[in-house]
Amino acid sequence: MLIGVFKSNQKLVNMLTITLTIVLWLPAFFMDLEIEFSHLVSTNIKWLDIVIAIFLIAAQSIYLNIIVGEYKLVKDNSHLTSLMFVLFNSCCLLLLNLNQVVIANTFVLIAFHQLLRMYNLKNNYAILFNASFLIALASLIYLPYIAYFFLLWLTLIYTATPKWRDFTISLIGLSIPLIYFITYKFVVNDLSEINFNNELITIFNVRWSEFTFFLKLFFIVFTVITLLSFMSLVSTLNRSGVRVKKMLVVVVGWMSVFGLTTLFMNQFDYLATFLIVSIPLAIVIANFFQNIKKTWLAEILFLCLLGGSILSYFS
């Protein structure tokens, strides 16, 4: 079964990650949404949008798993983080479109990798600049990601002994893409189109009452597993070394919290925020499945998630 396969540390499993992403996104080629989302990014070529999204999600899942393995964020090296990330980004038909969050997550993942490198590093000026620059790029694509800039500062305070130069450099890194963006708009006489209220509008204008039964079932099971995962994480923290413990606090605590704050910036777009927090939650839930000793139980729980997701495509 999938949990047993993805618990393996063999690089060949990366090919299964790509295959699973393609399989979960296949319905997008053949099924039309009844609700049109005018705020999705698009090349205006449906199949090309889907191919780009598949490529980004598969690449992001593999990259995220590399980060997790490098910093030992999950108990044992495996590909469970990739599995969870792919599932969360493909869990319902409404998400099977190229959108701002999927694109911005590429820059967020690279910035996240930079943040983890800051632990006990004396000369971290380049890392701070890179991370803040990447967060700014993600924010230009989807403005609510600006919340992660404060995550950068908290990570700096928690993992190092910051100086005033650290904060100044991070502000410079954040401001450069914004300055270039405003300058470009000024050059093309397009400043009047800069309206941050437009950037904060919902991507998926769908409320809980509009979700199908099986999609609601998926999120109910997901919520239960998430709560169990956090409980498991507390136990893991007590046994982890100091370095891993700090990393897990950054990933699970602050990244999840700041991700959830985007709800107040995108007019409670639950699906967009779900995609934002899919990065930290993929890690903590992968850690939970890794620690389940009874393989059959892990397989049943995952099949409940996968089944709810697939059934929601056709309901």
Q: Is residue 298 part of a domain?
A: yes
pLDDT on residue 35? 47
Q: Is residue 137 part of a domain?
A: no
pLDDT on residue 39? 60
pLDDT on residue 249? 76
Place of tokens 């049943």: 300
Q: Which domain holds residue 98?
A: 2-121+206-313
Q: Is residue 165 part of a domain?
A: no
Both structure tokens of 129:
């600049």
C-alpha–C-alpha distance, residues 147 and 223, integer Å: 23
Mean pLDDT per 10-residue interval, the chain, length 315 residues: 89 94 92 58 86 97 95 89 97 90 96 86 88 96 93 86 90 94 78 55 80 90 94 78 74 88 89 95 94 92 93 84
pLDDT on residue 129? 96
CB atoms within 10 A of CB 281: 24
Both structure tokens of 164:
């005033």
Quick one: DSSP state of residue 74? S
Q: Is residue 134 part of a domain?
A: no
Phi, psi (rounded to 5 degrees) for 147: -60, -30
Residue 123, SS3? coil
Q: Is residue 282 part of a domain?
A: yes
Q: Contact, 38 vs 204, CB < 8 A?
A: no
Structural domains counted in the chain: 1
CB atoms within 10 A of CB 43: 11
Q: How far is CA 249 from CA 89, 99, 242, 279, in A?
A: 23, 29, 11, 14
Q: Is residue 126 part of a domain?
A: no
Q: Contact, 279 vs 86, CB < 8 A?
A: no
Q: Is residue 178 part of a domain?
A: no
pLDDT on residue 191? 59
Q: What is the longest distance spanned by two Cα atoms in the chain? A: 63
Torsion 183-184-190-194 (CA) sign: negative
| CA end-to-end span of the chain | 25
pLDDT on residue 196? 54
Q: Contact, 54 vs 22, CB < 8 A?
A: yes
Q: Is residue 112 part of a domain?
A: yes
Q: How far is CA 261 from CA 137, 256, 273, 276, 300, in A?
A: 19, 9, 9, 10, 32
